[in-house]
Amino acid sequence: MIGSDARSEIETRIGYRFQDAGLLENALTHSSYANERNGGDAQSNERLEFLGDAIMGLETALLIFEKSPAMSEGQMTTVRASLVRTEGLAKAARSIDLGRYLSLGVGADRTGVRENDAVLENAFEALVAAVFLDGGIESARALVRRLFAAEAEEKMRVFSGDGFDTDYKSRLQEILQRNGAADIRYLLKDERGPEHDKTFRVAVVFDGREFGEGVGKTKKHAEKMAAKIALEELKCI
């Protein structure tokens, strides 16, 4: 349960005051805590997480669309994917110290779940949904933009080119192999559209996990964009 002092702290951090404190409490309740208290997940933040995911997708898309009139659909999709991936949302959650305020089950708390990227991602999405339900879409939009505008603008700058002027794949492979990564591959995640106008979504995979995801009108372009995202995440460009 979140106390009045903690509530005041997090409201200050996010720049929003809740009318319904129960929504904030719900957003910060992990399923492990709900299960320990009442044997079910009815009061966990999972339903809010579902709603928050949709709101994040819409608001980041609007932000990119408004601020990047010259970017192609593929470029905008790549920027949005890089913003709302688990690491990006966990980073936003850490920027407001969200993990500190989560209500967790005793066992989960002992295992370090409070700093788990996926848990922070889910809690952040739930928080966005709680703000939306409490104050409407403008309040949710203000929160998203307060925490994501600078990051979005930086990523739009990085991905504003067409991806062909630099050999990002070779650059990524060289950096990773230098640091001991042996298995580097590109995974086709999605392929949409008619034969004459397809869009491809590709992820670069190394160390057993997907690291960057790119979109393009050809597989080659999507792979280059995925490599570019991975390099940007690694702070190499």
Cα distances from 50 to residues 38, 44, 45, 109, in angstroms, run: 21, 12, 9, 23
**Is 36 assigned a catalytic role?**
no
Q: Catalytic: which of 25, 49, 53, 134?
A: 53
83 has pLDDT over 70:
yes
Q: Class of 4-158 per CATH? A: mainly alpha
DSSP letter string, 108-134: HHHTTGGG-HHHHHHHHHHHHHHHHHH
Q: Catalytic: which of 59, 121, 125, 134?
A: 125
Binned at pLDDT 50, 70 and 90, residue 172 comes out as confident
| Sheet (strand 209-216) strand order | 184-192, 199-206, 209-216
Binned at pLDDT 50, 70 and 90, residue 164 comes out as very low
pLDDT mean over 23-27 = 94
pLDDT mean over 155-170 = 65
Binned at pLDDT 50, 70 and 90, residue 166 comes out as low
163 has pLDDT over 80:
no
Within the chain, all domains assigned CATH 1.10.1520.10 are found at 4-158
Within the chain, all domains assigned CATH 3.30.160.20 are found at 168-233
pLDDT mean over 27-43 = 75
**Is 125 assigned a catalytic role?**
yes
Share of the chain above pLDDT 70, in %: 92
Q: What average pLDDT is seen over the chain?
A: 85
pLDDT mean over 186-204 = 88
pLDDT at residue 234, as a whole number: 75
Least confident of 6-10, 46-50, 128-132: 6-10
Residue 43's nearest CA partner among 56, 30, 57 is 30
Binned at pLDDT 50, 70 and 90, residue 2 comes out as confident
pLDDT at residue 173, as a whole number: 80
Q: Which residue has the higher pLDDT, 68 or 130?
A: 130
Binned at pLDDT 50, 70 and 90, residue 142 comes out as very high
Could you give the CA distance from residue 5 to residue 120 in angstroms, rounded to a whole number?
21
Domain 168-233 fold is Double Stranded RNA Binding Domain (3.30.160)
